[in-house]
Structure 1
C-alpha cells in the first residue's frame, strides 16, 4: 500500500471515529467517562515520547501507558499519524514489536479506530467454527442508530461483506430475526413518552406471551427493537401495572437460549446501561480464568463514555471496587494499563 493511500485511510478512520464518538455522547443525557481528551494536546510531542520509549534496548512501558491511557481514541489516531510522519514507521507495528500478550492486545485495541474495533469484534464473533452470541448481544443490543450505521460502514470496508448478511448467515430462528432488526439501526430515538401507546404495547406483549399458548415472538421483536429507550421504560412500567410482575420475569418464562439473553439485555440496557456493563465486567473476571477479550473490549470502548458510572455500579452491586478486581485478576503492564483507563495509574 502506498503512503498516500495509507495516510488517506488513516484520515478517513480519524473522521469516522470522531463521528462515532459524537454519536456515543449525544445518545446519553449525562455520563462519567474516565478518559477525556487532554488539553492542550501536542500529537508530535506525544509521538516523540513514544518513539523514545521504544527506541534502543528495553522499553519504557510506563511512558507508553501514561500517554495512551490519557488520550482519547481520536487523539491516539492523530499521534499515530504524526508518528508515521516524523519517523516513517507505523506506531501499531512498533507497539506490537515491543510488547506481548494481553498488554499488546490492549494497546492495539486502544490504537484502533472505534468503528473498526467494533467491526472486528463482530466479525470474529461470527467467523470460524461456532458463534460468540454474547459478543453479538453486547454490541448490537447497546448501540445507538448512529453507532450501528458507522460500524456497518466500517465492516463492509474491512471485510467486503454486509454486517447484516454475516449476522443472518451465522444465526438462526428468532434470534436471527432480532439481530437483523437491530442491524437496521432504525430505533426511535426521541425522548417523548406516549403513555397511552405504552399501555397499548404492554397489553400487546401480554397477549403475545403470557395470555396465549405459545409465544408470538414477532410482537416482542417489533416492540423491543423499534421503540425508544424512554418509551420502552414506560412500556415495562405499564407491564408491571398490568401483571403485578416484571417484564424480565415474563421474558425468562416465555423465552430461552440466546433470544432470551438478548431480550433481557435490552431490558437491562433500557433501565441501567452502566449496570449492564458492570455485570459483564464482573462475569469476565469471575471464577477461574479471565475473559480478557471481553474485559479489554468493555474497558476500551466505554472509557470515554461511562466507565466512571460502570465502576460506581460495580462497587454498588458487588461491594468491591472494579479496580480491586482488576488488581486481583490481572498482572504486570496489562494490569497497569487497565488501571490507567480508570485514571488510577
Structure 2
C-alpha cells in the first residue's frame, strides 16, 4: 500500500482495532502495532499496549493482565493461544528449529540478555536452555533411530527426553539428524557422519577433525566423518601373519662413536717401525663396517700421504693379508676383483663365477659391472664370453645383465604354464631344451619361481633340482641348481658353501674369505643358524678347528665369534 506524499487523506487514516494513536500523524492516524500483527497471525488479542522497559535490561511487551502476555524476566513471554501440534511427551512447539525464529517476533537486534525463558515441557522457541539430554535447535529424537530430514513425528514438537545429535551435544552414541538406521558412509557402528562416539563435530573432550592419538571417540588419529576400520581388517596397514617376513641380519655392525682420524693413528702406529701389531689392526678393521672402513682408507691417505692398502700388503702376508685387503674394498669392488681373479690366467674358477653371478640382486650386478669396467678397463660380459662356452656361457651372460623381474608378483596361471614348459623341455622329451630352462630361471622373480617349482613337482611328480641334475651336467647343472637353491633358501646355500670350504683335508680359503667378507654385514646371522641346523655344529667351531693364528682371529671377529 502506498501513502500519498505530505500527509494522508483528508481527515486522516481511520483508527485501526487494537492500535493506539501516534503523535505527529494527521487526524489521529494509528500505526500497526505488534498486537495487531499478532492478532493477524494468531487470532484476536484485545487491547493495545505500549513498550515499557522490562526487568533485567531486556526490551519486551509488558502485557500483564487479562488477555495480555504474561511478563517474564529476561526475555519474550510465551504467546497464549498458539495453535501448534502437540509433540510426543507434551513438549512445547518450536518454530524454525535451530534458528530460534517465530512468527511475530523481531528477527534481530536487541534480544534480551538473559535469553528466552524456560518453557514447560522442555520446548522453547529459538535458543532455550535445554534440560539434560536435549539439543538446541533440532527436535529430540527417540532412542534407536531418527526419522528423515524435516519429517519428525507429530510435527515440530519437543520429543521425549533423551540424547540427540546437534552442535555441542554430548551423550551416548546416536544417529545424526536425518541419518537412516543402518550405518552409512563414514558412519562406524551406528554413529553419525562426522560424529564418532556420539560426540559432536569439534566437541571439546571428544575427537574433532584431525583428532590426536588417544582422543576418545575413535581410533588414534581418526578424523570424524571417515569410517573406522577394525584393527583386524586386512588391507589397511594392519599387520597379519601373511605380511610378516624375516629380516636378514649381519654379524658386523657399524661401530658407535666412530672416529676415522683416531683409527688411522692406531693403524699407522701398528705398522710403523720394526714389527707389526696385528691385534691393533684386527681391533680396528675387524670391527668397523664397510662404509667406516672406506672413511678410514680416505683419512689415512689424507693424514699420512700413504695408501693404506699398500701399507697392509707390505706389513702382512698370506691368508691374513688376503682378508685385510678384502676388507678395504667396497662390496661391488671386491666382487669385481674376485670375478677378474676367477677368469684371469690359465683356467677359470667357475665356482666363484657361479656363486657371485647367481646370488646377487639386480642392483648388485649393475654396480659390479660399473666397478669391473672402472677397475679393469674392460666389460664383464666380454670376459665371460671369452672365458666360458656353451649354455653355461649363456646362463652367465643372462645373469650379468641384471634384468630379473624382481618386483613381479606371483601369477599362478603363469607358474603352471612355465612349469609345463619346463616339463616339456626336459623329462617329457628326448634330450633337453636348455634355452627354456635358462629363460625361466634367469628372468622370473624369486616368489614366482617358487610357485613354478611347486607346480613342476605336481606336474612331473619330481623335484625341479633333481630333474636338472638328471637332464644336465657340469657347470650348467651347477649354475642352474645354484639359482634354485638360492631361490628356496639363500642362507642355506651359503651355509653349504662354507661347510664344503672347510670339510675334509685342506681349506678352500678363497671361498671361505669371500663368503665371510661379503655376507658378514648382510645375512651372516641367518647363515650361522642354518649352518648349525644342517650340520649340528656352530660355524665358529668349524672356523676355530680349521684355521689358526691371526687368520682365525679376523674371521671370528667378522662372524661374531670369540677369537
Q: Given the two structures, how large is their TM-score scaled by the length of structure 2?
A: 0.55
The equivalent of 1:55 in structure 2 is 272
Task: Return the alpha-carbon distance in structure 2 between the equivalents of residues 91 and 249 of structure 1.
Answer: 48
Q: 1:196 and 2:416 equivalent?
A: no
Q: Which has the higher contact order (CA 8 A, sep 6+)?
A: 1
Q: How does 1:1-345 map to 2 (within 5 A)?
A: 30-190=247-407, 192-345=409-562
How far the C-alpha of 1:39 sits from its partner, in A, is 2.3
How far the C-alpha of 1:58 sits from its partner, in A, is 2.7
Task: State the Cα deviation string for residues 38-89 of structure 1 (Å, max 9, x = none).
Answer: 2222111111121222223332211211211211111101001111111111
SS of 2:528's partner is helix
More displaced stretch, 91-100 vs 285-294? 91-100
More displaced stretch, 273-282 vs 61-70? 61-70
Contact 2:408/2:444 (CA < 8 Å) preserved in 1? no
The number of residue pairs the alignment matches comes to 318
Task: Return the alpha-carbon distance in structure 1 between the equivalents of residues 311 and 389 of structure 2.
Answer: 41
| Contiguous gaps of at least 5 residues in structure 1 | 1-27
CA RMSD, Structure 1 to Structure 2 (Å)? 1.2
Task: State the Cα deviation string for residues 192-230 of structure 1 (Å, max 9, x = none).
Answer: 211111111111100111101111111000000000011
Structure 1: which 4+ aligned runs deviate by more than 6 Å? none
Task: Return the alpha-carbon distance in structure 1 between the equivalents of residues 537 and 246 of structure 2.
Answer: 27
SS of 1:251's partner is helix
Task: Return the alpha-carbon distance in structure 1 between the equivalents of residues 488 and 543 of structure 2.
Answer: 26
Task: Return the alpha-carbon distance in structure 2 between the equivalents of residues 223 and 29 of structure 1.
Answer: 26
Task: Return the alpha-carbon distance in structure 1 between the equivalents of residues 275 and 395 of structure 2.
Answer: 50
The equivalent of 1:8 in structure 2 is none
How far the C-alpha of 1:191 sits from its partner, in A, is 5.3
How far the C-alpha of 1:251 sits from its partner, in A, is 0.5
How far the C-alpha of 1:284 sits from its partner, in A, is 0.8
How far the C-alpha of 1:308 sits from its partner, in A, is 1.1
How far the C-alpha of 1:31 sits from its partner, in A, is 0.4
How far the C-alpha of 1:239 sits from its partner, in A, is 0.8
Task: Return the alpha-carbon distance in structure 2 between the equivalents of residues 327 and 286 of structure 1.
Answer: 13
The equivalent of 1:19 in structure 2 is none
Task: Return the alpha-carbon distance in structure 2 between the equivalents of residues 90 and 101 of structure 1.
Answer: 20
The equivalent of 2:65 in structure 1 is none
Contact 2:502/2:508 (CA < 8 Å) preserved in 1? yes
Task: Return the alpha-carbon distance in structure 2 between the equivalents of residues 168 and 53 of structure 1.
Answer: 44
Task: Return the alpha-carbon distance in structure 1 between the equivalents of residues 304 and 466 of structure 2.
Answer: 58
Greater helix proportion: 1
| Contiguous gaps of at least 5 residues in structure 2 | 1-244
Pick the structure with greater CA Rg. 2
Task: State the Cα deviation string for residues 269-292 of structure 1 (Å, max 9, x = none).
Answer: 000001101111111111111111
Task: Return the alpha-carbon distance in structure 2 between the equivalents of residues 94 and 308 of structure 1.
Answer: 32
